[in-house]
Structure 1
Amino acid sequence: MFFLVNLLHFSHYFFFLDLPVNITILGPGAVGSLWACYLQKAGHNVSLWTRSSTPSELSLSLNAKDNSSHSFSCNDKDSLIHCDLLFITVKAWQVESALLPLLPLLSQETILLFMHNGMGAIDAIKAHINHHPVLQATTTHGALKESSHTIKHTGMGHTVIGPFNASGNQCQFLQNVLEHSLPSIEWNPGIDIALWKKLAINCAINPLTAIHQCKNGQLSQPDINQDVIHVCTEVHQVLQKEDIEWEEIELVSMVNQVISATSENYSSMNRDCFHKRKTEIDFITGYLLQKAKQHGISTPINETLYNQIKQLEENLL
C-alpha cells in the first residue's frame, strides 16, 4: 500500500515510477463502473464494494462493442484495508449508510473522493471522516449501465476535483492519476463553485425531466422551457447570496446548452422515477430550498417541483 504520508511528500517519485494505486469503488452503478473500467485499463488495482457483503467477482464490458472484459473483486476486506483511494459513487442519500460501516477498515491515510449529484451529503458525516483527506468531484461524462455487466460511455466529458478539508488540499497529485485514466481532469481549490454550478443545472433539468418522463432534449420545447427559465431565475437569487458569480443569462444559456448536448439522454432522476427508486431530490432541489430559506428567498417554482417529486416517490416506492 502506498501510504498517503509518502505520496504527499514524494508524489514526484510516485509518478516517475508510474506506480499503480489501490482503488476501491464504493457504488458500482453507471458512473462508478465507468471509472472502474478506465482506472483498471490505466493499470491501477481496482476493486468494487457493493450493497452485498458477500465477496464475489464481477466482470464488466465497457461499451457493447468492447470484446475485452474487466474483472473485479467485490467486497474484499483486504482490498479495502490496503486501499489508497476510496472512490465514492453511491447516490447522495446512500452516502452515510454505505460509507460509515467501512470506516473502521480504512487506513487514516486513505483518500476519500466523493462523486455524486447534489450537495450536503458530506456535511452530515463530516465529524466521522475529517481525519481522512477528503475530496469532492463533479463530472460531465455520460454513463449508462445497459446491463449488470455492460457499461456504455454515452458522452465524453470533463471532471473537476477539489479539496473538502485541509488534508484534501494536499492531494492535487490525484489530478494526474485520474487524467491518465479518464481525461480531462481539472484541479479546483474552490470546488464549491463548480458544485454549485452543477447543482444549478441539475435543479433546472432533473425534476422537470422526471415529472414529464421525458428526455433532456424535450425541455427545449417552448412551454416546458419557460419552466426551465423560471427555475433558473430562482436558483440565481440563491447563487448570488452564496457569492457564486454567475450571471442569470449565463446560467440559462448553460442549462440550454446541456439540454441540447444531452438531448437524447435521460436524467438520473428521470431514470430513478422510471425504475421506482428513491431520487436525489433532497440533495439537489432540497439543498437549494434549504439555502433559500436561510437567506430569506422565496422559491415557489422550485418548491412546487420538489413537492411533486416527493409525491412521485411516495406513489412509486
Structure 2
Amino acid sequence: MNITVIGPGAIGSLWASYLTEAGHSVNVWSRSFDEQIRIQRDDHDAIELANNNINQLNNADVILVTLKAPYVTQVLSTLVEHINSDTILLLMHNGMGTASDVQQMLPANPLLLATTTHGAYRPSSKQVLHTGQGKTLFGAVNESGQQCQFLVDVFNHALPTVDWHSNIEQALWNKLAINCAINPLTALYAIPNGHLGQSQYRAQLDSVIDEVCQVMQAEGIEVENSELHASVHDVIRATSDNYSSMQQDIAHQRLSEIDFITGYVVAKAAQHRIDVPSNTKLYQAIKQIEQSW
C-alpha cells in the first residue's frame, strides 16, 4: 500500500521503518525541508524515505498521523486539498479530542483511531530505538471507517500485535486515565514514573484516579475504581525508570499534550457537572509552566 506517515517522531519513525520492511511504499511528512529523510531502526540498515512529497500524499491509501495531539488539526488543515477523499486516516497519539475536528475537516474520509503500547525512543533525528514490545488497537470513528478492518492485517504483518476494537473509546479512555495519573505529576515534580509509588505522592495520585473514574463512568465507560487504581500502579511499576512524554516536554520547554489529556477530562467533567479539583489543579499548574516560557 501507499502509506504516508505525518509526524515521524519516535512512534511515527518506528512504524515507517516496520511498514517499509513489510514491503509497503512509505513516505513521510515532517518539519524538515529535506526531500528525503533517513531512518535507522536499532541496528538495522538505514532507509531513505521521501519527505513532504505532494504527489505521494495525493496517492496515499493510508495516512498515519503520529503528530502530538496539539498539532494534528493545525497540520492537517494545511494539507486538506492534497488528501484524496478515499484515503484512510489513522490517528495515533496520546490524549483525546482531535477526532471530531478531523472528521469535520475531512468528512468523507474513513477515520480510525489507534492506541499502542509499543515503546520507542529517538536519540537523534535519524535513529529510532524500539524500546519495548507492545500491542496496538484500531477502531472506527465513522461508518466508512468501519469498512477498514482489513487494515489490522496490514499493520499486524508489519508490527504485531494489532487488533480491532469495536469500542475504541473504551480503550482510549483506559489509556487516558493512566496518562492523567502519571504524566502531569511526573512533569510537575520532574521525576521518573517509578517515584509515584512513593508515599508522598499517594494521596494526590489516588485523588486524580478517583476523579477520572467518576468522569469515565459518567461518559458510559465501563470501569471499576479498584481496577483502575491497580492498572495505574501496574504501569508505574512496569515503567519505573522511564520519564513520561509530558515530563520530557516540560523539561525541554516543549508544548505538552496537557489539553488533550487532563484538559480533556476537566472539560468532560464540566459537561457532567462533576467536581475534579485535583485534575483541575494539575491542569492549571502545567499550563502555568508552559505560559511562563
TM-score by length of 1: 0.90
Aligned pair partner of 2:247 in 247, 270, 273: 270
Which residues of 2 match residues 226-245 of structure 1 at below 5 A? 226-245=203-222
Give the C-alpha shift of residue 299 in structure 1: 0.4
Query: Are the aligned partners of 1:143 and 1:152 in contact in 2 as well (CA < 8 Å)?
Result: yes
Aligned residue identity for 1:22: N
Give the C-alpha shift of residue 47 in structure 1: 0.3
Separation of aligned partners in 1, 2:259 and 2:274: 18
Query: Are the aligned partners of 2:186 and 2:193 in contact in 1 as well (CA < 8 Å)?
Result: yes
Deviations 1:39-88 (A, max 9, x none): 11111111000124x4511111112xx14112111001111111000000
Q: Which residue of 1 aligns with 2:165?
A: 188
Give the C-alpha shift of residue 153 in structure 1: 1.1
Give the C-alpha shift of residue 122 in structure 1: 2.0
Q: Which residue of 1 aligns with 2:20?
A: 40
Q: Which residue of 2 aligns with 1:61?
A: 40
Residue 34 (structure 2) pairs with residue 49 (structure 1): no
Aligned pair partner of 2:8 in 1, 14, 28: 28
Query: Are the aligned partners of 2:99 and 2:141 in contact in 1 as well (CA < 8 Å)?
Result: no
Deviations 1:223-256 (A, max 9, x none): 1133221110011110110111110100010011
Query: Are the aligned partners of 1:47 and 1:79 in contact in 2 as well (CA < 8 Å)?
Result: yes
Give the C-alpha shift of residue 272 in structure 1: 0.6
Aligned residue identity for 2:60: C
Separation of aligned partners in 1, 2:9 and 2:207: 32
Aligned pair partner of 2:119 in 136, 139, 142: 142
Which stretch of the first structure deviates more once superposed, 78-87 or 98-107? 98-107
Aligned residue identity for 1:278: L
SS of match in other structure, 2:108: coil
Deviations 1:99-142 (A, max 9, x none): 11112112111000000111111222322112000000011111
SS of match in other structure, 1:277: coil
Deviations 1:199-246 (A, max 9, x none): 111100000010111111111111113322111001111011011111
Separation of aligned partners in 2, 1:129 and 1:263: 40
Aligned residue identity for 1:162: G
Separation of aligned partners in 1, 2:101 and 2:61: 23
SS of match in other structure, 2:40: strand
Give the C-alpha shift of residue 291 in structure 1: 0.6
Residue 280 (structure 2) pairs with residue 308 (structure 1): no
Q: CA-atom RMSD, angstroms?
A: 1.0
Aligned pair partner of 1:77 in 43, 51, 54: 54
Which residues of 2 match residues 245-260 of structure 1 at below 5 A? 245-260=222-237
Separation of aligned partners in 2, 1:107 and 1:125: 14
Identity fraction in percent: 47
Query: Are the aligned partners of 1:56 and 1:74 in contact in 2 as well (CA < 8 Å)?
Result: yes
SS of match in other structure, 1:109: coil
Query: Are the aligned partners of 2:194 and 2:241 in contact in 1 as well (CA < 8 Å)?
Result: yes
Q: Which residue of 2 aligns with 1:217?
A: 194
Q: Which residue of 2 aligns with 1:207?
A: 184
Separation of aligned partners in 2, 1:60 and 1:33: 7
Query: Are the aligned partners of 1:130 and 1:165 in contact in 2 as well (CA < 8 Å)?
Result: no
Q: Which runs of 5+ in 1 are unaligned?
A: 1-20
SS of match in other structure, 2:79: helix
Q: Which residue of 2 aligns with 1:167?
A: 144
Aligned pair partner of 1:122 in 83, 96, 99: 99
Query: Are the aligned partners of 1:55 and 1:76 in contact in 2 as well (CA < 8 Å)?
Result: no
**Count of matched residue pairs:** 293
TM-score by length of 2: 0.98
SS of match in other structure, 1:254: helix
Aligned residue identity for 1:299: V
Q: Which residue of 2 aligns with 1:11?
A: none
Separation of aligned partners in 1, 2:106 and 2:228: 33
